[in-house]
């Protein structure tokens, strides 16, 4: 076992799962309904001794498929917890704060009973985007304070959502070779990004923080989660609760920067401390994965375009901006 941290201590990580039934407009392959992916994630966490995991899921997919909500019973029955992640999953960059706040309340109408059962009341900004002006962030943060929510950010992610559409194509074409190649690339990218982001955080903060990691409720993540967790364990990771991670000031005090870009807290801490960021995002890996087995209509611009269209359709004045994503 390699202990990764420059401090020589094991790195503590609270993993979290966003979007247990993906996003409105993202197709599901018949072989991988949400319940299967949720079970794969539950099994992987149990297998690696991860304490209860919070899931943050936009709830708009339930509008079309009410049965999807059963995934929350499955999740909670396995001992895990539920937080709030809005209904339509728009970025705060794209809407007025009042529209965003109404969307947080809209999700409470669907899953409020699950949120109330969790030991802590957490909210996660969609795409960890905290808004493109300090005033917007302040307005939403003030509302969260009144409503009793604490925003749980991310300090480690590996762009797993960018593997979702290529994996759909591999499943669609029943191409086992490509499917396995994507899974291998997925695990390799997860571990490479973990090493980079743990190191970046250490350089920016000058100490070893407790990390908050991200997995999504997509078929590819479900199929690879066990291997990712095993890989993290190999690096000496100790899995902890989100509550323990949220006792670390680096996760509670927002880094003082405003950006419309897709950036987690580690990237933001690095930015304000002028620490050079290398290989994040993993542009080469994303480009390679994006290019595998083209299938008409199963490409990222088409599918994510429809998804963002659905996000916008439900929210007054919502204008998605693809330039917020730079890979
Ligand atoms: Zn999300």
Q: Report residue 7's pLDDT band, with 50, 70 and 90 as the boundaries.
A: confident
Backbone angles phi, psi at 92, to 5 degrees: -60, -25
Backbone angles phi, psi at 222, to 5 degrees: -60, -45
Q: Each residue of 61-107: pLDDT tens digit? A: 999 899 888 999 999 999 999 999 999 999 999 999 999 999 999 99
CA of 20 to the centre of ligand 1 (A): 9
221: left (phi over 0), alpha (psi -120 to 50) or beta: alpha
Q: Report residue 134's pLDDT band, with 50, 70 and 90 as the boundaries.
A: very high
> What pLDDT is recorded for position 1?
44
- What is the spatial distance between Cα 170 and Cα 69, in angstroms, rounded to a whole number? 27
CA of 15 to the centre of ligand 1 (A): 14
Q: Each residue of 203-229: pLDDT tens digit? A: 999 999 999 999 999 999 999 999 999
> What pLDDT is recorded for position 9?
85
pLDDT for residue 138 is more than 80: yes
Query: Per-domain residue ranges for the chain?
Result: 12-318
> What pLDDT is recorded for position 2?
54
Q: Each residue of 289-319: pLDDT tens digit? A: 999 999 999 999 999 999 999 888 999 999 9
Q: Each residue of 232-289: pLDDT tens digit? A: 999 999 999 999 999 999 999 999 999 999 999 999 999 999 999 999 999 999 999 9
CA of 31 to the centre of ligand 1 (A): 23
The two three-digit tokens of residue 85, written as one number: 């992640």
CA of 22 to the centre of ligand 1 (A): 8
CA of 1 to the centre of ligand 1 (A): 32
CA of 137 to the centre of ligand 1 (A): 18
Q: Each residue of 14-30: pLDDT tens digit? A: 999 999 999 988 888 99
pLDDT for residue 5 is more than 80: no
> What pLDDT is recorded for position 261?
97
pLDDT for residue 153 is more than 80: yes
Name the residue with tokens 């809005």.
Answer: 86
Sheet strands (E) in the chain: 12-18, 54-57, 81-84, 122-123, 150-151, 211-216, 238-239
CA of 55 to the centre of ligand 1 (A): 10
- What is the spatial distance between Cα 21 and Cα 38, in angstroms, rounded to a whole number? 9
The yes or no reply on domain 12-318 and CATH 3.20.20.370 is yes
- What is the spatial distance between Cα 177 and Cα 117, in angstroms, rounded to a whole number? 43
Tell me the three state secondary structure of residue 156.
Answer: strand
- What is the spatial distance between Cα 126 and Cα 154, in angstroms, rounded to a whole number? 11
């Amino acid at each position: 076992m390699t202990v990764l941290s420059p401090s020589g201590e094991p790195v503590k990580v609270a993993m979290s799962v966003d979007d247990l039934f993906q996003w409105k407009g993202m197709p599901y392959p018949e072989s991988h309904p949400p319940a299967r992916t949720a079970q794969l994630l539950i099994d992987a966490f149990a297998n690696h001794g991860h304490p209860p995991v919070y899931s943050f899921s936009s709830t708009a997919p339930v509008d079309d498929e009410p049965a999807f909500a059963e995934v929350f019973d499955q999740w909670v029955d396995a001992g895990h917890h539920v937080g709030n992640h809005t209904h339509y999953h728009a970025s705060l960059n794209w809407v007025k704060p009042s529209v965003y706040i109404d969307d947080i309340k809209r999700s409470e109408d669907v899953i409020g009973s699950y949120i109330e059962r969790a030991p802590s009341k957490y909210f996660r900004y969609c795409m960890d985007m905290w808004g493109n002006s300090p005033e917007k962030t302040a307005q939403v943060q003030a509302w969260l304070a009144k409503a009793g929510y604490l925003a749980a950010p991310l300090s480690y992610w590996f762009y797993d959502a960018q593997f979702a559409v290529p994996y759909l194509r591999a499943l669609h074409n029943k191409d086992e070779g490509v499917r396995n190649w994507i899974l291998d690339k997925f695990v390799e990218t997860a571990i490479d990004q973990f090493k980079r982001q743990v190191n970046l955080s250490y350089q920016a903060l000058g100490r070893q923080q407790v990390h908050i990691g991200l997995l999504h409720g997509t078929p590819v993540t479900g199929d690879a989660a066990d291997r990712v967790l095993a890989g993290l364990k190999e690096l000496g990771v100790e899995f902890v609760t989100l509550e323990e991670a949220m006792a670390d000031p680096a996760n509670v005090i927002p880094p003082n920067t405003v950006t419309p870009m897709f950036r987690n807290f580690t990237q933001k801490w690095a930015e304000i401390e002028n620490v050079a960021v290398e290989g994040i995002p993993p542009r080469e890996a994303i480009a390679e994965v994006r290019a595998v087995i083209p299938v008409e209509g199963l490409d990222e611009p088409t599918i994510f375009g429809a998804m963002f269209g659905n996000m916008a359709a439900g929210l007054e004045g919502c204008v998605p901006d693809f330039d917020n994503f730079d890979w």
